[in-house]
């Protein structure tokens, strides 16, 4: 698989076989991407207890969350900044100031907010940045509801067990598909799903719905009927696709 990559990618990735990833997990994926890309700057939107943020190995890291579950001042240093505020406020105050190599979007799990986070972060990225969007593949109609409590209520009423909760972030992938012809993406079909996005034009660009309204009104069943749009791949194939995308000649 590795020999398909360009020379630049091969050089950067010497000795970094996908096999070294070991177990699945967000931290391992982000660290694999960070190492492969040589990432020096990282932004995480939605940090909670810092389980992911604190374990991502990138020199300069910025964390944004209105409610950190820890005291950020204990962990702050020259290269690690914590912004206790909603993502909208962060982007409104820091637009254009910074560029990030790697971004993890894991804030409020609604389509509208993740769409806004996604659009707001784009000017903070460059030709070889990667944006990883969390929770993009809900396994059932309940997990795909934008309101977590309502999802739990409906699940319980239906006697449905398991599946977790994603929110309706999956709609963002349809919006990227229909409205961002200069971006490529692939979805890791594991756990609750994560979609990686990078700058690479899609020559086969053809909008499916061509309507923000239709996308925002989508249901989980609509997603299932149009699953090809999600570009689902297993983890290794997906990460390989990202690496060949950003290091293409
Ligand atoms: C799923 S948790 C994040 C988990 C974390 N990324 C990890 O991997 O451990 C979602 C977080 O998003 C935060 N959040 C909610 N609304 C937000 C907003 N408007 N902007 C930024 N973060 C937000 C919540 O406070 C919560 O901590």
Helix axis angle, 87-94 to 111-121, nearest 10°: 20
Which atom of ligand 1 lies nearest, measured to the CA of 50?
9
Q: Separation of 43 CA from ligand 1 center, angstroms?
A: 12
Fold of the 7-246 domain:
Rossmann fold (3.40.50)
What digits encode the pLDDT tens for the residues 178-213? Answer: 999 999 999 999 999 999 999 999 999 999 999 999
Of the candidates 15, 49, 11, the residue with the CA atom closest to the CA atom of residue 32? 15
Which atom of ligand 1 lies nearest, measured to the CA of 26?
8
Buried b (16+ CB within 10 A) or exposed e, 36-51: bbebebbbbbbbbebe
**pLDDT computed for residue 231 by the predictor:** 98
Return mean pLDDT, the chain. Answer: 90
Q: Separation of 76 CA from ligand 1 center, angstroms?
A: 18
Distance CA 117, CA 44 (A): 11
pLDDT band at 50 (very low <50, low <70, confident <90, very high): very high
């Amino acid at each position: 698989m590795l020999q398909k990559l360009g020379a630049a990618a091969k050089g950067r990735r010497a000795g970094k076989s996908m096999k070294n990833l070991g177990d699945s997990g967000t931290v391992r994926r982000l660290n694999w991407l960070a190492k492969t890309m040589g990432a020096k700057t990282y932004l995480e939107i939605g940090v909670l207890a810092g389980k992911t943020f604190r374990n991502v190995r990138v020199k300069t890291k910025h964390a944004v969350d209105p409610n950190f579950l820890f005291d950020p001042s204990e962990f702050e240093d020259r290269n690690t900044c914590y912004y206790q505020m909603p993502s909208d406020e962060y982007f409104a105050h820091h637009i254009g100031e910074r560029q990030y190599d790697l971004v993890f979007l894991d804030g409020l799990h609604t389509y509208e907010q993740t769409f806004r986070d996604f659009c707001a972060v784009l000017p903070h990225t460059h030709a070889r940045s990667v944006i990883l969007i969390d929770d993009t593949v809900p396994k059932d109609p309940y997990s795909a509801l934008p309101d977590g409590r309502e999802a739990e209520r409906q699940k319980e009423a239906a006697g449905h067990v398991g599946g977790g909760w994603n929110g309706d972030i999956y709609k963002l992938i349809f919006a990227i598909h229909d409205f961002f012809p200069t971006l490529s993406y692939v979805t890791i079909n594991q756990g609750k799903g994560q979609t990686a996005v990078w700058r690479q034009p899609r020559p086969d660009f053809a909008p499916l719905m061509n309507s923000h309204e239709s996308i925002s009104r989508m249901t989980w069943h609509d997603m299932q009927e149009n699953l090809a749009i999600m570009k689902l791949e297993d983890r290794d194939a997906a990460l390989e696709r990202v690496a060949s995308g950003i290091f293409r000649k």
